[in-house]
Amino acid sequence: MTYHCPKCRMDNTDPEDIRRKHCAFCDVFAEDLRGELVTELQEFQFSRGLTRRDCFSVAIWTVKYHGNEESRVVHGRVRDSWTGALVQHAWVETPGKGTYVNEETGAEVQLPLTLVVDYCQIDERARFMPRDYYYEQCGVEATPPPKRYTFEQCMLLAAIHRNDGPWEDPGES
């Protein structure tokens, strides 16, 4: 068993480093990476001060500032890569097009591709991913399916519930 550092990408084998999720190479704890400010959003008024722990708020302001009309805040359950426990999480999905190369003809082909933006990933490589790959990597639960909200729906639900999520549907037990 190893602790793979999301920052410097070295593998730690010391049992004490593994237990504490600490990297001996760059001397950083995973927990400190979670506490970092979301630098991608700091220039924007309402998202200043958000850290990589604040996934529900970060997703809302990611749609507002870095999304477009088709972007959605998505709430779902993901598997914690460390403990294996299911946890509530929020991220952003934006439909778009991916460019692929046809290996036989060499021609570039454009196909629909939904991109996930998740600034709360402590590994910066995991912050932009095709949806299918993100779902696989994060162990997104298919049942119940993730819920999708527009920015306007988020503003309304946040006002009703007085928090940025997760929100229970009316009538949901």
Kindly list the residues in this chain that would bind Zn ion in the complex (CB under 5 A): 5, 7-8, 23, 25-26
* CB 120 to Zn ion: min, Å: 19
- Identity of the residue, 5 or 59, whose beta carbon is nearer to Zn ion in the bound complex: 5
* CB 24 to Zn ion: min, Å: 8
* CB 26 to Zn ion: min, Å: 3
* CB 121 to Zn ion: min, Å: 16
- The span from the CA of 93 to the CA of 116, in Å, is 5
- Identity of the residue, 5 or 90, whose beta carbon is nearer to Zn ion in the bound complex: 5
- Identity of the residue, 8 or 101, whose beta carbon is nearer to Zn ion in the bound complex: 8
- Identity of the residue, 32 or 132, whose beta carbon is nearer to Zn ion in the bound complex: 32
Strands (E) in 49-130, as ranges, are: 72-79, 86-101, 108-117, 128-130
CA distances from 168 to 49, 91, 93, 114, 164 (A): 26, 17, 20, 25, 12
Name the phi and psi angles at 110, rounded to 5.
-100, 125
Name the phi and psi angles at 67, rounded to 5.
-100, -170
